[in-house]
Amino acid sequence: MKTAAPPDRATGRRTPPWGGDRGRRITLSAGRTVVTHGLRKQVLIDLYHYFMTVRWPTVFLTFAGAFGGFNVFFALLYAAAPESVANLSPPGFWGCFFFSVETLATVGYGDMHPVTPYGHVVASVEIFIGMMSIALMTGVIFARFSRPRARFLFARYGVVRPIDGRTTLMFRAANARQNIVMEATARLRLMRDVVTSEGYRIRRIEDLELVRSEHPIFLLGWNLMHVINAASPLAGQSAQTLEQSRAVFLLTLGGTDETTGQTLMARHDYPCHLVRWNHSFHDTLHTDEEGVEHLDYAQFHAIHPLGDPGTAR
């Protein structure tokens, strides 16, 4: 392990082991931030992942910059031998630039065209690059547009309350798209800091068994429950002890979209301070006088203390 250098005599500050490397900032679950050092960011060898993760404006700005840069480069090549292009209009660099745009996009209006071997060779190279770049840009845009996205709604809070005489941890999820997600599955995990018998501090991940981890037709809502019994990792825990261990609950949902046949996945993390003990979810299902059931998602995140059903927040 690297150790920090001795403090500077002038400033009294210690130089960190990673030197002047600013590192890469990564946001983990529950809003925790970690800055990594020692790894170079190599975008050029991982372009697909880059374009799949950045925002849409960044994608279009990157494509626009590449388009402009290519055309400027080839315009300079044409400008080096302006006689290689017939009917250059307007004369000079801008005429070469617009001819490059037409060639790269394989438009070919028919007015300007190469007339020398040099012009034909440069135009052939540019057409090849244009065909490849258009195919790649189209593929990236289609991959981003067609990427399956789950519209699963997770309640803002989790609650701990008795159900059937047993203390139960409960989370609530819903399918905001309101189409059928077939064979939906759920996994709940607890991540917390623990100290081993040797005094070694580690971040441990433990599975929390759900009363029901599968849903055949996830359409509206789903209450996910974990019974806190003697076999549960939460046995003997309280809100205070979980806070001390920086506990985070990670809930993941997955399933197959019946409409598209695509696999959907989503996750949501709950820091321990978002799990309210001795609280209950507000009832969102109501039946009117005609026997029609109404599900009010406006109350989806609302909870209230046990024994006070009229207080929601």
The tokens for 283 are: 């009832």
Instruction: Give the Cα separation of 221 and 113 in Å (integer).
Output: 63
Angle of helix 56-79 versus helix 117-146 axis, rounded to 10: 180
Lowest mean pLDDT among 13-17, 106-110, 183-187: 13-17
Place of tokens 């939906």: 184
Q: What are 279-302's pLDDT values in tens digits?
A: 999 988 888 888 888 888 888 999
The whole-number average pLDDT for the span 5-15 is 56
Q: What are 127-182's pLDDT values in tens digits?
A: 999 899 888 899 999 988 888 888 899 999 999 999 999 999 999 999 998 889 99
* SS3 sequence of the chain: CCCCCCCCCCCCCCCCCCCCCCCEEEECHHHCEEEECCCCCCCHHHHHHHHHHCCHHHHHHHHHHHHHHHHHHHHHHHHCCHHHEECCCCCCHHHHHHHHHHHHCCCCCCCCEECCHHHHHHHHHHHHHHHHHHHHHHHHHHHHHHCCCCCEEECCCEEEEEECCEEEEEEEEEECCCCCEEEEEEEEEEEEEEECCCCCEEEEEEEECCCCCEEEEECCEEEEEEECCCCCCCCCCCHHHHHHCCCEEEEEEEEEECCCCCEEEEEEEEEHHHEEECEEECCCEEECCCCCEEECHHHCCCEEECCCCCCCC
Delineate the domains of the chain, giving CATH numbers in brackets: 44-146 (1.10.287.70), 152-305 (2.60.40.1400)
**pLDDT, position 220:** 86
**pLDDT, position 260:** 86
Between residues 145 and 2, which one has the greater pLDDT?
Answer: 145
Q: What are 203-213's pLDDT values in tens digits?
A: 999 999 999 99
Look over the chain and give the mean of its residue pLDDT values, rounded to a whole number: 86
The whole-number average pLDDT for the span 20-27 is 67
pLDDT tier for residue 11 given thresholds of 50, 70 and 90: low
Contact between 258 and 179 under an 8 Å Cβ cutoff? The reply is yes
Q: What are 255-271's pLDDT values in tens digits?
A: 999 888 889 999 999 99
Q: What are 40-98's pLDDT values in tens digits?
A: 776 667 788 888 888 999 999 999 999 999 999 999 999 999 899 998 888 889 999 99
User: Of 98, 91, 92, which Cα lies nearest the Cα of 74?
Assistant: 98
Between residues 32 and 81, which one has the greater pLDDT?
Answer: 81
Query: What does each C-alpha distance from 274 to 102, 166, 208, 268 come to in angstroms?
Result: 58, 21, 17, 12
Q: Find the distance separating the first CA and the last CA of the chain, reported in whole Å.
A: 48
Give the count of beta carbons closer than 10 Å to the beta carbon of residue 142.
10
State pTM to two decimals.
0.73
Place of tokens 């599968």: 214
pLDDT tier for residue 121 given thresholds of 50, 70 and 90: very high
**pLDDT, position 264:** 92
**pLDDT, position 306:** 87
**pLDDT, position 1:** 43
Q: Taking 80 as the threshold, does the pLDDT of residue 312 lie above it?
A: no
